[in-house]
Amino acid sequence: MKTPFVTAEQLRSIAERYPTPFHIYDEKGIRENARRLKRAFAWNPGFREYFAVKATPTPKILKLLHEEGCGLDCSSLTELMLAKGCGVRGEDVMFSSNDTPAEEFEMAARMGAIINLDDITHVDFLKNTLGYVPQKISCRFNPGGMFTVGKSHEDFQVMDNPGDAKYGMTRSQIGQAFCRLKELGAQEFGIHAFLASNTLSNEYYPTLARILFQLAVELKEETGCRITFINLSGGIGIPYRPEEPAGDIDLIGEGVRRAYEELLVPAGMGDVALCTELGRFMLGPYGHLVTTAVHEKHTYKDYVGVDACAVNLMRPAMYGAYHHITVMGKEQLPCDHKYDVVGSLCENNDKFAIDRMLPKVDLGDLLVIHDTGAHGFSMGYNYNGKLRSAELLLREDGSVELIRRAETPDDYFATVVW
């Protein structure tokens, strides 16, 4: 059973002021979770979370996380601009990109961001673009093969086969890249890898850590490079389904600590700082998509039509991903009606739920679609001329703040040349 972080009474009041659909985020939950993560890795004095901006590129959310000590992980020019606009710059920004245009490297360097190179060819591309390489730099590693630790969810298919992934360098390439970067003047080095998406196992991070810690020891010996940080990236997941167990961040942190003490400390690398770039874990459970039932249809199946659609949350349409749904005010009623919950796009995959057992849904009911705080609003689009929704923040004191207004037709047509 999943419980919304807002009550039916609160939502009815909010919806009177801000028409559905909208995404709403829980400030209290976000802050508490950021502090949990920090405590779990407090044993590593240099630990830093670099929140993955792509998950929730909303300035008020980014500022809130920065207040909690988080940096930002950016992957494009506009994400760098967003970080800068939030007052986050310098080594508070990690720039992890691929197939990167020169102008993006230039802006990252101007901001003083830590640049994370995806490919060996980017070493000289960066040198030719900037005229130098930064003194502190990172490279992304891809070990190849399959990686199955923690496989847990429908969209795991996105990143469970490093050998087929477009990201990162081979083992031999990362060694060559370190040597070339050192030759060009780099003095501090980092290692990064991202091998799996939305894992629920407490073993994923410790397993990845062992791979990267062993690699760090080998690269130090082979190249003489001074490795000062290791980025464990993202991949810690959330339980989208009520029956799924949540990972234990304290156990995860302890597992990484054991690997650190077994591999890095004996190699004289006990001062290496750890980084993470979590998105889903940081924000996923602390966002809801709120929508209203506006139509019902009874043909070969029973349908509930809502005023949100896949442009507000594309994960179910794109991945077949599960998102739990609560019919507000009917939380205690039996789930004895089977529905497809659908939006209004002219696409048959525009379904938030298929054959979902819910209480009887009446027109006007408010539905909460859970776990949309990451990769929810951010993956929105304008297909069928649909407009992106508003974003709201439920403050710790119970007040609600508009943090992004809903798009209007004027926004949609703003770039058109008639």
pLDDT at 158: 38
Query: Which residue type does 403 have?
Result: I
Q: Are residues 187 and 156 in the same domain?
A: yes
Query: Which residue type does 208 have?
Result: L
3-state secondary structure the chain: CCCCCCCHHHHHHHHHHCCCCEEEEEHHHHHHHHHHHHHHCCCCCCCEEEEEHHHCCCHHHHHHHHHCCCEEEECCHHHHHHHHHCCCCHHHEEEECCCCCHHHHHHHHHHCCEEEECCCHHHHHHHHHHCCCCCEEEEEECCCCCCCCCCCCHHHHHHCCHHHCCCCECHHHHHHHHHHHHHCCCCEEEEECCCCCCECCCCHHHHHHHHHHHHHHHHHHHHCCCEEEEECCCCECCCCCCCCCCCCHHHHHHHHHHHHHHHHHHHCCCCCEEEECCCHHHHHHHEEEEEEEEEEEECCCEEEEECCCCCCCCHHHHHCCCCCEEECCCCCCCCCEEEEEECCCCCCCCEEEEEEEECCCCCCCEEEECCCCCCCHHHCCCHHHCCCCEEEEECCCCCEEEEECCCCHHHHHCCCCC
Q: Write out pLDDT tens, residues 1-50.
A: 899 999 999 999 999 999 999 999 999 999 999 999 999 999 999 999 99
Q: Are residues 296 and 272 in the same domain?
A: no
pLDDT at 373: 98
Residue 164 lies in a domain: yes
For position 166, which CATH number holds?
3.20.20.10
357-373 in b/e form (b: 16+ CB < 10 A) is ebbebeeebbbbbbbbb
pLDDT at 146: 65
pLDDT at 156: 41
Q: Are residues 278 and 303 in the same domain?
A: no
Residue 347 lies in a domain: yes
Residue 1 lies in a domain: no
Q: Is the per-residue pLDDT at 163 higher than 90?
A: no
β-pairing, 227-231 vs 351-358, is unpaired
Q: Is the per-residue pLDDT at 182 higher than 90?
A: yes
Q: Is the per-residue pLDDT at 145 higher than 90?
A: no
CA distance 90 to 71: 10
Q: Are residues 349 and 210 in the same domain?
A: no
Q: What is the largest CA-CA distance in the chain?
A: 69
Q: Supply the range of the domain harboring residue 13.
A: 8-23+285-413
Q: How many domains does the chain have?
A: 2
Active-site positions? 346
Residue 45 lies in a domain: yes
Tell me the pLDDT of the chain averaged across its residues: 95
What is the average per-residue pLDDT within 108-114?
98
Residue 261 has which token pair?
């003490």
pLDDT at 54: 97
What is the average per-residue pLDDT within 138-166?
67
Residue 121 lies in a domain: yes
Q: Write out pLDDT tens, residues 316-344.
A: 999 999 999 999 999 999 999 999 999 99
pLDDT at 150: 55
Q: Are residues 58 and 70 in the same domain?
A: yes
Q: Are residues 346 and 409 in the same domain?
A: yes
317-351 in b/e form (b: 16+ CB < 10 A) is beeebbbbbbbbbbeeeeeeeebbbbbbbeeeebb
Residue 3 lies in a domain: no
| pLDDT confidence tier of residue 155, bands split at 50, 70 and 90 | very low
Residue 9 has which token pair?
């009474």
Contact 216, 174 (CB under 8 A): no
What is the average per-residue pLDDT within 131-154?
80
Instruction: Single out the residue in 238, 262, 284 at which a domain terminates.
Output: 284
| pLDDT confidence tier of residue 144, bands split at 50, 70 and 90 | confident
CA distance 320 to 207: 28
For position 357, which CATH number holds?
2.40.37.10
What is the reported pTM? 0.94
Q: Write out pLDDT tens, residues 186-213.
A: 999 999 999 888 999 999 999 999 999 9
Q: How far is CA 251 from CA 31, 40, 41, 201, 386, in A?
A: 20, 8, 10, 10, 43
Residue 230 has which token pair?
């290791």
pLDDT at 42: 98
CA distance 345 to 349: 9
Q: Are residues 113 and 256 in the same domain?
A: yes
Q: Are residues 319 and 299 in the same domain?
A: yes
Which has more pLDDT, 335 or 144? 335
Q: Are residues 221 and 114 in the same domain?
A: yes
Least confident interval from 78-82, 144-148, 240-244: 144-148
Q: Are residues 166 and 308 in the same domain?
A: no
Q: Is the per-residue pLDDT at 165 higher than 90?
A: no
Q: Is the per-residue pLDDT at 400 higher than 90?
A: yes
Q: Is the per-residue pLDDT at 82 higher than 60?
A: yes
| pLDDT confidence tier of residue 159, bands split at 50, 70 and 90 | very low
Instruction: Single out the residue in 284, 312, 347 at which a domain terminates.
Output: 284
Instruction: Single out the residue in 284, 317, 337 at which a domain terminates.
Output: 284
Query: Which residue type does 305 have?
Result: G
Q: Are residues 121 and 244 in the same domain?
A: yes
Contact 115, 133 (CB under 8 A): no
Q: Are residues 295 and 278 in the same domain?
A: no
Residue 87 lies in a domain: yes
Residue 115: half-sphere exposure toward Cβ, Cα within 13 Å: 30
Residue 2 lies in a domain: no
CA distance 150 to 196: 8
CA distance 8 to 368: 10
pLDDT at 85: 98
Q: Is the per-residue pLDDT at 157 higher than 50?
A: no
Query: Which residue type does 191 have?
Result: I
Select from 139, 131, 132 the least CA-distant residue to 114.
Answer: 139
